[in-house]
Amino acid sequence: MAETSVKDKRIISDKYRASHQDDTSSLAAALDRGLSGTSDTVSDYETALRGYFGNRNAIAISSGGAAITVALAAVGVKAGDEVVLTPTCPLCTVYPVMDMGAKPVFVDTREDGFSVDLEDLKRVVTPKTRAIIEIPMWGMPTQVDELHQAARKAGIPLILDLAHSHGSTLHGRSLSAYGDLSCYSTHERKPLATGEGGFILTDNDDLAKRCRDYSRFGNLNGRDFGLNFKLGALAAALGTSRLKYLDQQLEARRRNAERFLSRLEHPSVRPFTQIPGAKHNNYFLTLRLNFADNRRFIDYLDEHGVPSDIKRYGCRCLYDFPAVAQYRRPCPNGERLLNSMTTIPVHPSLSSDDIDYMVGLVNAYRES
């Protein structure tokens, strides 16, 4: 194993805490205008979201997980229905499916990335399938255009979990252009951060109305069921002001990722090949590993102060977690994918020296 002298050791944080000079004034203005989820501050945020992402409708929601719940309800998922999703995502995506009493049905990914394998999709769709969820991990665009076509042909709504993918595009359009409903999180760790929070984007006015109604107790009309998933005004105020900095922040991530890749020399480590027409937001830099023991490499980086989302979250296919094991359906591509990759932080607070330190560690690694 490579020798790294202790004096060189750094601790790299994978937590980026956005902070902008107008955060405080935005919060102060919201305090004056009222704090509930029906305040003008929230509708202004929704207007800003439509403007940035280019969708016809935006509905602010209390979290990314709640956004999935609301999207499932809006497309009419009921107890006993089946919802198809890839198993290579966090538990956050599958728990809302289970909470509705629906059955998660796992579909394999493609060999080269996190998109649904369209051949395997044909094997798992049944008359009970009420929704398909695609989860582009770490912001890497997937073949959402092809999946959108396949879903439309099958007459099944496509929900995109874009919790990592603010600013990721395919053929010049936000990934949210390709979902019937696109769900985002604005949790503190996500590219656009409001502490807790989320939103749903859609070009379908009817689905937008259903999302809005469901997330407001069915407007308490006593006819339409719903729950309260509204986003509060303070988080919305931060969202509006921070959206202005999103592109600048993604640009800093891109520069860091490029610096890392331009110095990367290890023959067993290479970047993911992005699909044609894709622009990755660099939420994390993702690397494909080809060691005899990839986990040992990830541990080595961790021991030298470089965290990996793979290690932090114990990433494995969802059916390998006890809470989800009853839905096991082996997905060999997905397993290989998660076992042969890692993530490298490239957020805006990292310095050039931090990037050089990380790539130096990678280049120095030798399998013993």
Q: Going by C-beta distance under 8 Å and a sequence separation of 6 or more, which residues neighbour residue 88?
A: 109, 114, 135, 137, 315, 317, 318, 331, 334, 337, 338
Q: Least Å distance between CB 94 and ligand PLP? A: 9
Residues in touch with ligand PLP (CB under 6 A): 63-65, 89-90, 92-93, 135, 161, 163-164, 185, 187, 198
State which residue, 156 or 163, has the beta carbon closest to ligand PLP: 163
Q: Are 81 and 103 in contact (CB under 8 A)?
A: yes
**What are the φ/ψ torsions at residue 51 (nearest 5 degrees)?**
-65, -45
Q: Least Å distance between CB 163 and ligand PLP? A: 3
State which residue, 169 or 362, has the beta carbon closest to ligand PLP: 169
Q: Least Å distance between CB 210 and ligand PLP? A: 20
Closest of 305, 302, 304, 296 to residue 368, by C-alpha: 296
174 DSSP 8-state letter? E
Q: Least Å distance between CB 47 and ligand PLP? A: 21
Q: Least Å distance between CB 252 and ligand PLP? A: 21
CA distance 87 to 150: 19
State which residue, 258 or 320, has the beta carbon closest to ligand PLP: 320
> Is the torsion defined by CA of 296, 286, 336, 87 positive or negative?
positive
Q: Within the chain, where are the H helices?
A: 23-33, 40-53, 64-74, 91-99, 118-124, 144-154, 205-214, 233-243, 246-263, 294-303, 309-312, 332-339, 352-364
Distance of CA 137 to the CA centre of its chain: 6
Amino acid letter for position 192? L
State which residue, 23 or 196, has the beta carbon closest to ligand PLP: 196
Q: Least Å distance between CB 188 and ligand PLP? A: 9
State which residue, 199 or 365, has the beta carbon closest to ligand PLP: 199
Q: Least Å distance between CB 176 and ligand PLP? A: 14
State which residue, 315 or 362, has the beta carbon closest to ligand PLP: 315
Q: 């690694």: which residue's tokens? A: 365
Q: Are 242 and 186 in contact (CB under 8 A)?
A: no
Q: Least Å distance between CB 153 and ligand PLP? A: 26
State which residue, 139 or 157, has the beta carbon closest to ligand PLP: 139
Q: What's the length of the chain?
A: 368
Residue nearest to ligand PLP (CB): 64
Closest of 103, 108, 107 to residue 77, by C-alpha: 103
Q: Least Å distance between CB 191 and ligand PLP? A: 11
| Cβ neighbour number for residue 99 with a 10 Å cutoff | 12
3-state secondary structure 129-160: EEEEEECCHHHCCCCHHHHHHHHHHHCCCEEE
State which residue, 114 or 357, has the beta carbon closest to ligand PLP: 114
State which residue, 63 or 281, has the beta carbon closest to ligand PLP: 63
